[in-house]
Amino acid sequence: MLSVTSVTKRFGGLVAVDNASLEVAPGSITGLIGPNGAGKTTLFTLIAGFEQPSSGAIRFDGADVTGLAAHKRAERGIARTFQIVQPFAGLSVVENIAVGAHLRHRGRSDAHAKARAVADLLGLTAMLDQPASDLTVAGRKRLELARALATEPQLLLLDEVLAGLNPSEIRDMLPVIRQIRDQGVTILMVEHVMQAVMSLCEHIHVLAQGKMIAQGKPAEIAAHPAVIEAYLGHGAAKRLQAAPEGAPHA
């Protein structure tokens, strides 16, 4: 569904993404991990069309979208969440979700009907008429996800959707992410909660200093020497390799 080929992004003399390539299979949950400052969010920004790469190509659903603007990519089916959640504080929860729904549904009633359906999936139904400013951190994370999902994407880019949540809230969010995938949405996620990544993802790409240093199945990544050295550390790697299937820890 998504193919990123030899993509580089320079900001003046800084190379934020350096000849990076990755692929995301249809119907998968794929992980993108790496240390802070590795270039993960920049790569998401390139995939979503908010920035253009300095070189390289991005293909989505068989078509070259490298030069397309973000709103054109959204129309084709690419949606993303943002690491820093900023809802429209003066609007209600349902109105916030409807902002995303208006991409496909021009009428207010249709957009609100879509917003309510998405809210039901994400456990926000009881909060629909509340101001978005009243939501907890966990509620705002769900709202950010709902707004992206309301655009009816084929590919959903999740940028640290679990960040700031406690272990119980993380456990509650994992089945929601799986359910979104099961409804036909392919997911590429940036995440630092490693046991959640290991539990959710079928395939993982690892970015460090702008370069892809590894890719493979979760067990392969947890044991990869370059990933341990650049990101996981030996202690975390051993815990991930020893951890049974089950609820992740924060």
- For residue 53, what are its two tokens? 């790469």
Name the average pLDDT for the chain.
Answer: 91
DSSP string, 161-222: TTTT--HHHHHHHHHHHHHHHHTT-EEEEE-S-HHHHHHH-SEEEEEETTEEEEEE-HHHHH
Q: Which of 134, 152, 170 is the last residue in one of the domains?
A: 152
Alpha carbons 38 and 227: distance in angstroms, whole number: 12
Q: What is the pLDDT averaged over residues 208-237? A: 86
Co-location of 96 and 60 in the same domain: no
Co-location of 11 and 128 in the same domain: no
221 located within any domain: yes
Angle between helices 108-121 and 167-182 (to 10 degrees): 120
Co-location of 128 and 65 in the same domain: no
82 located within any domain: no
96 located within any domain: yes
Co-location of 70 and 141 in the same domain: no
DSSP 77: T
pLDDT at site 102: 95
Alpha carbons 14 and 57: distance in angstroms, whole number: 20
Co-location of 190 and 222 in the same domain: yes
Co-location of 147 and 163 in the same domain: no
Co-location of 142 and 165 in the same domain: no
Alpha carbons 117 and 228: distance in angstroms, whole number: 42
The torsion angles phi and psi of 187, rounded to 5 degrees, stand at -125, 135
CATH of the domain at 220: 3.40.50.300
Tens of pLDDT, residue by residue over 87-136, are 898 899 999 999 999 999 999 999 999 999 999 999 999 999 999 999 99
Alpha carbons 235 and 229: distance in angstroms, whole number: 11
Co-location of 146 and 93 in the same domain: yes
- For residue 205, what are its two tokens? 């790409």
Q: Which of 152, 167, 192 is the last residue in one of the domains?
A: 152
For residue 32, what are the β-bridge partners?
190, 205
Co-location of 179 and 56 in the same domain: yes
Query: What is the model's pTM?
Result: 0.90
The torsion angles phi and psi of 29, rounded to 5 degrees, stand at -110, 115
Largest CA distance in the chain: 54
Instruction: Kindly tell me if the per-residue pLDDT of 181 is higher than 80.
Output: yes
DSSP 238: H
Domain that holds residue 38: 1-77+154-250
Q: Which of 136, 152, 168 is the last residue in one of the domains?
A: 152
3 state DSSP class of 17: strand
Tens of pLDDT, residue by residue over 130-179, are 999 999 999 999 999 999 999 999 999 999 999 889 999 999 999 999 99
145 located within any domain: yes
3 state DSSP class of 133: helix
Co-location of 158 and 68 in the same domain: yes
The torsion angles phi and psi of 64, rounded to 5 degrees, stand at -75, 115
Co-location of 129 and 214 in the same domain: no
